[in-house]
Amino acid sequence: MAFKLSFNKKLLLLTSSIVVFCALILMGLTLKQYAKLYQDNARSDLEALSFNSAQELVQHMARLPVDDLGATTLLLKFERYKNIKLAQVYDNEHNLTSQYVNTELFLSPEVQPKQYTKQEMIPGTTATKGELVSVTNIGEGVYPLGHLVLVLDYNSVINAGVDAFLFEILPWVIGLLLILLWLTRWAQTAFISPLLKLSTLVNTVSETKDYNLRYQVKGDDEIAQLGYNLNNMLHTINQQNIQRAQRDKVLKKQQQSLEFMANYDGLTELPNRKLFQELLSQELAHNVRNNTELAVLFIDLDDFKTVNDSLGHPVGDLLLQQTAVRLRAQLRDIDILARFGGDEFVIVVSNLEQQIEAIVIADRILQSFKQSFKLQHWEFNSGLSIGIAFSDRNKVSISELLANADLAMYRAKNTGRGNYAVFESSMQNNQHRRLIIVNQLSYALANDEFELHYQPKVSPIHGVIGFEALLRWRSSFEGMVSPAEFIPIAEHCGKINDITRWVINQGFKELNTINKKLHKDMVTSFNVSAFDISNKDCIQYIEEALKQSKLDPSSINFEVTESAYIENFDKASTFFNKLIALGCDISLDDFGTGYSSLSYLTQVPASTLKIDQQFIRNMFQSEQERLIVDSIISLAQNLGLQVCAEGVETKEAFEYLASKGCQQIQGYYFAKPVPLCELPAIVNEINTKIEQINAPDALKSP
């Protein structure tokens, strides 16, 4: 690993190196200059000493023989000169006569001093390595008595000088170095540490991604400017990050809400049909693995449309939300609850050991809906119908399972609301029959397969006062088909308007014949469905048929069920008012089965209430049903309305109703619905019967 030096240390190293280098060069140069100066001084000193000594040696060399001792004694004075290494006296024949050796300057005593040759004996001073050698003639220049050689060792002097010099200068150099180091350190704090702080900041930001960090700008130099720019950059990045985060948040929210919208129902926040299918297929797979049973509960609110139309959509929405809450409360966490749209909910209960477990849940749900709903300032009951279908240990597909539960739900609805029904394969046959009827209805209209039967309405006092026109279908393929079967199908497949049109046209034509045959105007009632009420053309063709038939409008009555007008109250009001304007009358059919809201009753311009036949049928078995009959009759009387009881099959029922003041009686007790041709005979028969009943006891046949 490469040894990494911080910028700070590098700077310190560089400055110190430069200082040391410069100091060394300076010292070297100084020393060199010092050596040169010393050499020059030493040369002149040596030359002066040589000259003087040569003068003094003359007296000793001038003797014959040469005074060696005197010369040697003289040479001894050089002991005083520490740097004189060697002093030699040579005679004229170039023999060494005396010498002085400074043993201290010789490295070892074995080293013999050099003897100079004749050739070297040239007066003057020469510098050799570390030595100055001075040769001086003793005596007259032309005939010298000998030569004096003086050797000065300036190496040691210079070395000592250098030592002294160094000793003197080094503290300064070191001091200077320390000052320089301190200066560098100061420069570092002053200039480098802001840079270091900047660098640390950049590192921290890049590691932590915290763009809120800032550099503390001090002063206004280049570094401060750099810090300021860095802060600006961080601010910009931070702003961009915040914007990006906000945009991401919005995008994420949008994506989540899109996902939610695609998979959940916005009102109840339950899974929608799409998500439900996915969840169901997962559950089915799970049940295959565990070999357990799975049930689908198809739920439809009873009369939801009525709540929506009469109490308003906000209440309808609240009801759906509360329904979701109530349903959820009856389920286990693992059960799936979804909204299929409208007022349809679906539940999946899986991991069932036995089918009865699903039925228990359905029962519990129905019980929980017995409690009334308190929404806004309304309090009302809302029931539901449940269809249950089982996966039969996974023998059916998802679509079959759902279709089966749906069929079962329709069965539950038809057997009276607030019920559940378990799917049976016979229901599929019903479905098949429905399809056949749908297909055959158009054929029936085009081929005159319909006919009208009339059932007399009898006044306990006056006898027959009118009829109810009831449709009959003699299908060339299916034989006689009951209106109770084909009318609901015609309503759902959009054929009912054509059928009503046929009934009106045919009925109005036949009424003329009836009136003529009976020699008096009877009031005949025709049934209209909810779908006729919302059909704009209906009033128009009734008006046209009236004009064409020239019938007295007051002899025409229209029977409308309670649910039909409550479900479309506004449209029904317009429809009724137009009928009244035409001069016709209105009866409220099957009264007592639906909402029977008194406030509606007072707003509907009806002339007659028809008590539903289920109350009449059970009148003598159930005290409660009889009380209902009594109440409807007294209610009608209080409102000034006529009452018609239908489904009267027994004398007992007739007498009871007559005694209660019921003005119109309709039922098998007097006659079944019969074709036009049979009417005159039936009417006579009934009238005779009434006369009999009303005759004074004495006239009555036994």
The residue ranges that bind ligand C2E (CB under 6 A) are 455, 470-471, 482-484, 487, 503, 527-529, 559, 589-590, 613, 646-649, 666-668, 673
The least distance separating Ca ion from the CB of residue 474, rounded to whole angstroms, comes to: 20
The least distance separating ligand C2E from the CB of residue 383, rounded to whole angstroms, comes to: 21
The least distance separating Ca ion from the CB of residue 585, rounded to whole angstroms, comes to: 14
Residue 222 tokens read as: 């280049």
Report the C-alpha gap between 64 and 54 in whole angstroms.
Answer: 17
Query: Of ligand C2E, Ca ion, none, which one does residue 647 interact with (CB within 5 to 8 Å by kind)?
Result: ligand C2E
Report the C-alpha gap between 450 and 397 in whole angstroms.
Answer: 40
Q: Is 358 in contact with 295 (CB distance < 8 Å)?
A: yes
List the one residue from 500, 589, 595, 670 that touches Ca ion (CB under 5 A): 589
Query: Of Ca ion, ligand C2E, none, which one does residue 136 interact with (CB within 5 to 8 Å by kind)?
Result: none
The least distance separating ligand C2E from the CB of residue 315, rounded to whole angstroms, comes to: 29
List the one residue from 97, 419, 527, 663 that touches Ca ion (CB under 5 A): 527
The least distance separating ligand C2E from the CB of residue 581, rounded to whole angstroms, comes to: 22
Q: Is 676 in contact with 513 (CB distance < 8 Å)?
A: yes
Nearest CB to ligand C2E, comparing residues 192 and 503: 503
Nearest CB to Ca ion, comparing residues 527 and 663: 527
Nearest CB to ligand C2E, comparing residues 620 and 668: 668
Query: Of Ca ion, ligand C2E, none, which one does residue 587 interact with (CB within 5 to 8 Å by kind)?
Result: none
Nearest CB to Ca ion, comparing residues 463 and 594: 594
Residue 261 tokens read as: 């919208």
- 670 CB contacts (<8 Å, ≥6 apart)? 456, 458, 648, 686, 689
Query: Of Ca ion, ligand C2E, none, which one does residue 673 interact with (CB within 5 to 8 Å by kind)?
Result: ligand C2E
Residue 589 tokens read as: 């059919």
Nearest CB to ligand C2E, comparing residues 310 and 561: 561
Report the C-alpha gap between 551 and 418 in whole angstroms.
Answer: 43
Burial classification of residue 602, based on how many CB atoms lie within 10 Å of its CB (0-12 exposed, 13-18 middle, 19 or more buried): exposed
Nearest CB to ligand C2E, comparing residues 308 and 529: 529
Check binding of 562 to Ca ion (CB under 5 A): no
Count of residues near Ca ion by CB under 5 A: 4
Query: Of ligand C2E, Ca ion, none, which one does residue 503 interact with (CB within 5 to 8 Å by kind)?
Result: ligand C2E
- Exposure letters 178-204 (e unless 16+ CB within 10 A, then b): eebeeebeeebeeebebbeeeeebeee
The least distance separating ligand C2E from the CB of residue 407, rounded to whole angstroms, comes to: 22
Burial classification of residue 69, based on how many CB atoms lie within 10 Å of its CB (0-12 exposed, 13-18 middle, 19 or more buried): exposed
Nearest CB to ligand C2E, comparing residues 465 and 503: 503
Residue 112 tokens read as: 């013999």
Please write down the long-range contacts of 613-621, taking CB distance under 8 Å and 24 or more positions apart.
613/646, 613/647, 613/667, 614/647, 616/645, 616/646, 616/647, 616/648, 616/653, 616/657, 616/667, 617/647, 617/649, 619/653, 619/656, 620/652, 620/653
The least distance separating ligand C2E from the CB of residue 334, rounded to whole angstroms, comes to: 44
Report the C-alpha gap between 342 and 268 in whole angstroms.
Answer: 11
Check binding of 590 to Ca ion (CB under 5 A): yes
The least distance separating ligand C2E from the CB of residue 286, rounded to whole angstroms, comes to: 46
Q: Is 296 in contact with 401 (CB distance < 8 Å)?
A: yes
List the one residue from 67, 309, 335, 559 that touches Ca ion (CB under 5 A): 559
Chain residues that interact with Ca ion, rule: CB under 5 A: 527, 559, 589-590
